[in-house]
Structure 1
Amino acid sequence: MGVTKRIQLTASLPQAHRQVLALHSTVEAAAADAGLDPRLVELVKIRASQLNGCAFCVDAHTRDARELGESERRIYLLNAWRETKLYTEQERAALALTEAMTMLPRDQDVPDDVYDQVTAVFTEQQYVALAWAATVINTWNRLGVTSRKPLPGEAA
């Protein structure tokens, strides 16, 4: 895996790429307007990217999280977030929602207990921004994985 050179989908259809970038910007602004901690949003992006196996996005968002002050320890343990007390109630709810939304093709549901957990600790505006953030990163992941987007510094 990873040997066959792939067509880079974002470069091959720049109009669509610009529209996904615009959607990304809209969702980032909505998250900020809702008062979501940018580090929480980065954790959502990292976790979805881990589940989807998108090396490009994991790399990008772990660097972004570190620039925002996120600890390396919490980033390293993100794939085992349920097994540690390092994450807040809000972070746990956001990660549960992210996982449920990311695993929709397999599970075909966001369980009521996850929805209830998220809406108990976030406002409606925050919930909407989180759900859209998970949607957008899943879109980027699918483009990156399908294209086998190389990491910065890697040969294309």
Structure 2
Amino acid sequence: MSLSAWVSAHYDEIGPVKWLAFALELVAAVVLFSLMAITCVDVAGRYLFSNSLDGATELTRIGLAIMIFAELPVVTWRGGHIVVDLLDRVLGSKIVKALGLLAALVISSSMYFLGARIFELAERSLRRGVVTEYLGLPAGYVVEYIAIMSWFTALGMITYGIYRILTNPVK
């Protein structure tokens, strides 16, 4: 089976969003595997050789940030967030749709402005030459990545919110 056929069989998204979701999930999977390998080497080194892996904690923190923010746009687009629908039966379907659109607008604008602020902090971090404690990696690049993925999440939320409102029929 070709990669294209496999992706088409396992991803419900359409067009380039399918490949973007695949790429982001691939990044998250590779980082997760790397975190597992780092943890195994660190623990084995600590108990077998009385010497842990230098910078394992930093690599774990960076890996978690990369993994979480790689998945956030995908989860957002798929609508995989926790939803509390206590009032859906009480309110009419038109009101529920309007509230859903309002929530999509609020969440997407919040993620956009959050990403803008995070990007400002990343630029400041790079200007000041802030590096990680043990490995001396520039911290600003990871923070820029978080900001960019926050913007992708905002884009995913607003497009998903509009898509959901337009495609679900009023009952």
**Structure of higher CA gyration radius:** 2
Asked if these proteins are the same fold (TM beyond 0.5), I'd say: no
Higher relative contact order (CA 8 A, sep 6+): 1
- Structure 2 length as normaliser, TM-score? 0.32
